[in-house]
Amino acid sequence: MLVGLKEVLEEGKRRQIAVANFNTPNLESLIAVLEAAEELDVPVIIAHAQLHERIVPIDRVGPMMVELAKRSKTRVCVHLDHGEDFEYCKRAIDFGFTSIMIDFSDLPYDENTKGTRMVTDYAHEHGVDVEGELGALPEREGSEAMDVRKREQPAPGDERELYTKPELVGDFLEKTNVDALAIAFGAVHGLYKKEPNLDMELITEITKKTDIPLVMHGGSGVSDEDYREVIRRGIRKINYYSYMAYAGYAKAKEIVNTVEADYYHNIGYGARQVMKADALRILKVFSHM
Ligand SMILES: [Zn+2]
């Protein structure tokens, strides 16, 4: 069934688990994720990232996501990932998304809070939940390929500059009125080039300031042990995508290289099977199964 972000995150809190957020920019990943969540009877968030607009427009994939969520046996939130402007957020709301993330984290603090508040007020009027971001991840996934606002990159060694500052959390939440907060504590979008070094203590510090559900982006490529630790410390939503997408890619490549002449649909089907296996694996970790 189609539900809001607050509802799945409340279940997450009750069960002391993290709810997985998967981007689903094609039918294969969408089916893979829904089947995996239904099999385990866990809540799930399916998301369309604004930067995937070129790969799959929201007016095509959005209605498909909403309809399949409504028909699902499990609790499914349909979410806009990294909304970058108000207009696009409004479009997602028009298509029936139950949750949006507005990401003004690359703007100066005052612009971030003011812009986020405008979106929050509009979304709440329409019964839609909102995730905001305070602090920033160094790169948006796929941003090198897309015409999105470029972040200034921190100098090596200065990455901590982008981390969420606990002393701003109370003020940010009061000014923006968001329902979930994405924080930055060392994770990186995309495939990791080296082991991420997560500042676990920072999560705990932030949970002392607020009981709002906390969100981790860049959740791919983290060890199972670290996932359990961030969940234990209070992360309730983890955005996981890159490694599932990579698993699908690797399988497609294997099929192309080993099968002489075949149909395109068999590539998609093969990729879907391995993406489902990957989703099952990560959902079990996030749900302590
Ligand atoms: Zn993200």
Per-residue confidence (pLDDT) for residue 154, from 0 to 100: 63
Cα 176 to Cα 254: distance, rounded to the nearest angstrom: 47
Per-residue confidence (pLDDT) for residue 161, from 0 to 100: 83
Q: Where are the beta strands (DSSP E) in the chain?
A: 2-3, 19-23, 44-49, 76-83, 99-102, 129-134, 180-183, 214-216, 235-239
Distance 266 CA to ligand 1 centre (A): 30
Distance 73 CA to ligand 1 centre (A): 27
Per-residue confidence (pLDDT) for residue 150, from 0 to 100: 53
Among 256, 245, 51, 259, which Cα is nearest to 140's? 51
Give me the helices (H) in 26-96, please.
27-40, 58-71, 86-94
Cα 288 to Cα 8: distance, rounded to the nearest angstrom: 16
Look up the CATH architecture of domain 2-286.
Alpha-Beta Barrel (3.20)
Among 222, 230, 215, which Cα is nearest to 183's? 215
Distance 189 CA to ligand 1 centre (A): 6
Residue pair 132/181 in contact by the 8 Å Cβ criterion: yes
Give catalytic residues, as residue numbers: 81
Distance 238 CA to ligand 1 centre (A): 9
The segments of the chain whose pLDDT lies below 70 read 139-158
Residue 60: CB partners within 8 Å, gap ≥ 6? Answer: none
Per-residue confidence (pLDDT) for residue 151, from 0 to 100: 56
Per-residue confidence (pLDDT) for residue 139, from 0 to 100: 63
